[in-house]
Amino acid sequence: MTSNPLAVIDISKPQEEITPGLLAAAVKQGFLFVDGHGIPKDQVDKLFELSKEYFTTTPEKEKLKYLINPDNNIGYTHFGSEQLDPRKTKDFKEGYNFGYIDFETGEFNQSKQDYYRSKNKDIKEDVQNPIPPYFKQNSQLLSDTMIRLHQIAREIMKLIAISLNIENQQFFTEKLRPKEPNGSIFRILRYPLIRNDGNDINSTDEDLLSIRAGAHTDYGALTLLFQKEAQQGLQLQLDEDNPDEWLNVPYIKSAHKDMAAPLVVNFGDLLNFWTQGVLKSTTHRVKFSPGETRNSDRYSIVFFVHPENDARLEPVPSDIVRKAANGEDIPQMTALEHLQQRLKETYNW
C-alpha cells in the first residue's frame, strides 16, 4: 500500500478539531488533502470523461481556434506553450482554461464587458471569450463544479484566518466574493503517455522523457486538484536543501461514502507573499514514473484560486505573521498586479 506523507483535513468536522492540523500542514509542507468537501464521485468521474473526450476526439484545428488569450489566461494551451521550469525543456501537456467566472450563477468565459459590468468600468474595447461547442453542451456540469470549488476555497481560507488567530475571520474571504472580477481559473489538463514532439527521439535523459510539468510553485492563493486513480504523478520538493529529493503524492479515497477523492490542496505564492512566508508555497512537478502512472495518459482537474483583482495585499493582522515578518513590510500591490507579474514569467509575455 502506498504511504501518504500529507495531512488529511476533513472540513466537514468542527473548526476547533481541524484548524491546528491545517495550520501545521500549511506551514511545514504547503500541501494537504481536503476531505469532506461534498462533491460526489459521480460528478468528478463525469468531469474526467468530459476532459478525455475533449482532448482525444476534438481535431487539433478546432482546438487551436480557442488558443489562450494572454490578457486574461482563458483558452486552450497547446503542447509546449508553457515552460514552468526555465532550466528544462517546455512542458509536454495540453490544457483548457476557463475564466471570467461568476461564482454565483456559474457563467464562465464571459465577455470582458459583461464580466466587469458590476464594477461600472468603461470597457472601451470588448473582448469575447468564445466557448468551444463541446463545453457549451456540458456547461451545467462545469458551472456546478466551479461554484462548489469556489465555496470550498472560501471555507479553507476562513479556516486559515482562524488558525492564524486573525480577529476578523472573514479577512481573506471578504476578498474572495463570488461576483467580483478575479484571476481564478478552472483548468482541465492532459499529459500524454508518449512524448512525441521530437524531443524523445534517441533520448537517454530520463527527466526529458518523464517530466511533463517542470518544477514550479503556483501563483495564487490556493490550488485545488482532483487526481484520477492510477494516474498519479504529482511530486513535491519538501526539503529545499535536497533539490533532488522528490516526494510522490498518492491517490487516496474519501472517508465519506460515494464522495470524490479528497482534493489535493496547496498554498501558492500569493498567500506566501501575503503572510510574509508563514504559509509555504512548495515546489512541485508532474513526473511519469515507471509502473501504474506510465500505462496511460494522465488527466487532472485543477482550480487556481485568486482573490479579487482589486484586493490589496495588505499586512495580515496576525501575531503569527507579525512575528515572522520581524518588522519588515511587504511591497504594496493588488492581487491582479501579483498575478500579472507571475504570468509574464511563465509565458514570456
Domains in the chain and their CATH numbers?
8-347 (2.60.120.330)
Average pLDDT for the chain: 88
pTM as predicted? 0.90
User: What's the half-sphere exposure (Cβ side, CA atoms, 13 Å) at 126?
Assistant: 10
Percent of the chain topping pLDDT 90: 66
Whether pLDDT at 30 is above 80: yes
- What does the pLDDT read at residue 244? 82
Rounded mean pLDDT, 301-311: 97
The Cα–Cα gap between 269 and 333 comes to 14
Straight-line distance from the first to the last Cα atom of the chain, in angstroms, rounded to the nearest whole number: 44
Give per-residue pLDDT as tens, 43-97: 999 999 999 999 999 999 999 999 999 889 999 998 755 544 445 555 678 999 9
Percent of the chain topping pLDDT 70: 85
Helix ranges, 64-218 (H): 112-115, 133-137, 139-163, 206-210
Least confident residue range of 170-179, 225-234, 245-254: 225-234
Give per-residue pLDDT as tens, 178-207: 999 999 999 999 988 765 545 444 444 555
Whether pLDDT at 170 is above 70: yes
Give the 3-state DSSP-derived string for 259-281, with helices as H, strands as E and coil as C: ECCCEEEEECHHHHHHCCCCCCC
